[in-house]
Structures are given as C-alpha cells and as structure tokens.
Amino acid sequence: MRRDVELLISLHIPELRVGTLDSLLALSDDLLKASSVIEGVTHKVRRQIEELDRTSGIEAGTLSVEGVPIDSYITRFTWDEAKYPVMTPLREVVDTIHESVSKLEDDLKVRVAEYSNVKTQLSTISRKQAGSMAVRELSTLVKSEDVISSEHLTTLLVVVSKYSQKEWITSYETLSDFVVPRSSKKLHEDNEYALYTVVVFRRVADTFKTAARERSFQVREYEHDPEGRQKREEEIENLMKDQENLRNNLQQWCYASYGEVFSSWMHVCVIRLFTESILRYGLPPAFLAAVLAPSIKNEKKIRAVLENLSGGGNSAFWKSDDDPGMIGLIGGDTEVHPYVSLTINLNG
C-alpha cells in the first residue's frame, strides 16, 4: 500500500444483470439523480441524529448498518442478494431502492413534524412564563389568597415599571373612587417590572384601568382559575413527557433508518460503478473496483497515479472540453477521469 493512501481495499461487485447497452445508457442519467436523492436523505437522517444527540445531552452513538460501523460496512461491502437478486433488471432494482428511501424520507418528515410541534408548544409556554411582566403568563405568580372576588369587590393586577413603584404606592388610592385603602401588594418583580394587586369596587374597575393607563401603569386582564392553573400545569407535564417520548422514539428510528438508507446508497453506488464501467470499457465486465480513502493533501497525487495506471498518455483525452458527451458518459461528474470515480461523502 502506498503511504499516500490511508485506505485501499478491493470492492466486490457482483455480476449484475447487464441488459442492453441502450438500457444501461438510459439508466445512467437516472442513476445520478437517484444517487443524489438517496445521498441527500442519508445526510438528512444523520443531521437529525446529531441534533437529537446534542439536545438529549447523551454521548453520540455509532452510526452503523445492522450493527457494522459505517467505515467497516464500506470496506467489507457485500451485495444484499436477499433484497436485490442479481438477476433482477437493474432498472427495477434502482426503482425499488428509490421507492424504499422515499418512504423512509416521508416517515422522517412525519416524525420530525410531531416532535417539532410538541417542542413548539413547550417553547411558547416557556416564553410566556419567562417573558417580561408585561406579557408573561401570570397564573404561576398569583395564588388564591392574593385574589379577592365578590359581588362588589374585585382584584386587579397592575404591572408597574421597576422605577415607578414609589409613584404607584403613593398614588394608586387616588386613581379613582372606591379603591380599598392599603390593598395593594407586590407579588413579583423582575429586571423591568413589578406586579402589584389592588382591590377596587367592581363598578369603578373600568375607570381605575383608564386612570392607571394614563399614569403608565398597565392593568393586566386576569381571571383567577385554580382549576385552570392545575390543568395548565398538567398540560405542561404531559407535553414534557410527550417530548421526551417522541425524541427517544425519533432518535431510535433515525439510528435504525440511517443504516437502511446508507445501505441503499451504497448499493446504488455499486450499480453506478458497474453501469459506468461497462459503458466505459465495454462487455464482458472486466474491471477492478476499490475503496480508496486518501488524505486531503494527497488526493491530487493519488489521482495522478490512477490516471497513469488507467489511461497513460491518453489521459488528456478524458479531460477534453470539446466532447460534452464524455460528461454524460460518466454520470454527470464535474471532473472527468480515465477511470470511473465516485465520491462517498459521509459528512455532507
């Protein structure tokens, strides 16, 4: 093994059903599209796993195919004859793989949507509870003993600027008639505002609210409901349980599905290698397939060696800009080489 190459392993490609050259040529373009779609789904599942691992705070698991780590799966790849019999027409195999991956992608969208919906509901509740006093949910701050409600009396909740509290204390009894003296009590204070109660006669409640607004005191609309508060707390608890269950289920599903979709991608890559090699070199199939993992700094050097081995002095022919058909022949790759080359990017 050359020192420039970190990995060089022979890749076994089975004797797949060739069909006609015309059918292979027609399949070549579709293979590029299918491979691109399946690769995209593979990375989408992987990114979802990474996000779930971060939010759960647990150590990331190992990505694998049926328990085999991805790197080992690539280097030890064997064609899944049970799923894709080698005598099945290649078009049918590709369509089967594409359909299977599309179903996985749809399932992923549904599961992520369910999880995101619960996260959004909890986030909305959290913002209401953690926002400023002017907008936050007040039920968690107000107890039953803080509220007086009778036929003639009612308790109003007033948001006062942190720096206007002295003004409130000295003026609230004069904002309207029929304000219960010394009835104001501070319930909570944050960095900007303080929350006060005041007891007034019901018949002057609207008058008091208007006068309070004129003095820049905000009267919050609030109806004390002990049972409703308990229901909201139960709702939050249930949402948190749902979020945990959905996250765990989604995480497990993603780990299992990543292996399935990566295996599908690998099989499509093998079909591409097989198809492009026949279109390049003709029948019968006689070519060597290998997995190479060069370091980034040595990739150009390795490609130069491969060009010498594959094309020798004719390598310039494969780089000709005057023959656009050459690009179609290799499946749309932006770089043309005198050998068939596919890149598997595990972190796209």
Which of 84, 91, 79, 93 lies closest to 25 in space, CA to CA?
Answer: 91
pLDDT for residue 6: 58
The predicted pLDDT at position 324 comes to 40
The three-state secondary structure class of 293 is strand
Radius of gyration, CA atoms only, the chain: 34
Q: How far is CA 38 from CA 63, 104, 303, 325, 344, in A?
A: 17, 10, 26, 25, 12
Q: What does DSSP assign to residue 312?
A: G
Q: Which amino acid is located at 266 in the chain?
A: M
pLDDT at residue 307 in the model: 83
- pLDDT at site 47: 95
Report which DSSP code applies to 186: E
Residue 27's SS3 state is helix
In this predicted structure, the answer to whether residue 229 has a pLDDT above a threshold of 80 is no
What was the pLDDT predicted at 311? 62
Strand partners, 276: none
More confident residue, 20 or 238: 238
Predicted pLDDT at 331: 38
Residue-wise pLDDT for 166-209, tens only, equals 999 999 999 999 999 999 999 999 889 999 999 999 999 999 99
Dihedral angle over CA of 292, 297, 299, 303, nearest 10: -130
DSSP letters for 213-252: HHTTPEEEP----HHHHHHHHHHHHHHHHHHHHHHHHHHH
**What residue spans of the chain are helical by DSSP H?**
21-56, 70-75, 90-130, 165-171, 205-214, 226-281, 299-310, 315-318, 325-329
pLDDT band at 127 (very low <50, low <70, confident <90, very high): confident
Cα–Cα distance measured from residue 56 to residue 169, given in angstroms and rounded to the nearest whole number: 47
pLDDT of residue 319: 52
Q: Which two tokens stand for residue 154?
A: 């009612």
Helix axes 226-281, 21-56, angle to 10 degrees: 150
Residue 254: CB atoms within 10 A of its CB come to 25
Note the pTM of the prediction, 2 decimals: 0.73
Give the type of residue at 214: E
pLDDT for residue 89 is more than 50: yes
Number of Cα atoms under 13 Å in the Cβ half of residue 207: 12
Mean pLDDT of the chain: 86
Give 102 or 340, the one with higher predicted confidence: 102
Query: Using an 8 Å Cβ cutoff, are 258 and 42 in contact?
Result: yes
Q: How far apart are alpha carbons 165 and 163 in whole angstroms? A: 6
In this structure, the chain runs to a length of 348
Mean pLDDT of 3-30: 80
User: 268, 41 in Cβ contact below 8 A?
Assistant: no
pLDDT at residue 119 is higher than 50: yes
Confidence of residue 225 (pLDDT cuts 50, 70, 90): confident
Q: What is the DSSP string of 47-69?
A: HHHHHHHHHHTSPP---EETTEE
% of the chain beyond a pLDDT of 70:
90
What pLDDT was estimated at residue 286?
Answer: 79
Residue 22 has pLDDT above 80, yes or no: yes
- Phi, psi (5° rounding) for residue 5? -105, 125
Quick check: 222 pLDDT over 80? yes
* Higher pLDDT among residues 270 and 20, named by residue: 270
Closest of 9, 11, 28 to residue 278, by C-alpha: 28
Residue (of 103, 64, 40) closest to 268 by Cα position = 40
Phi-psi region at 323: left, alpha or beta (left = phi > 0; alpha = psi -120 to 50): beta
Residue-wise pLDDT for 304-344, tens only, equals 888 888 765 444 444 544 444 333 333 344 467 788 888 88
Predicted local distance difference test score (pLDDT) of residue 80: 95
The mean-pLDDT minimum among 8-17, 227-236, 239-248 falls in 227-236
pLDDT-derived band at 296 (thresholds 50, 70, 90) equals confident
Residue % of the chain over a pLDDT of 90: 54
When mean pLDDT is compared over 22-31, 137-146, 238-247, the highest value belongs to: 238-247
Q: What is the pLDDT of residue 7?
A: 62
17: CB partners within 8 A, 6+ apart? 86, 87, 88, 89, 90
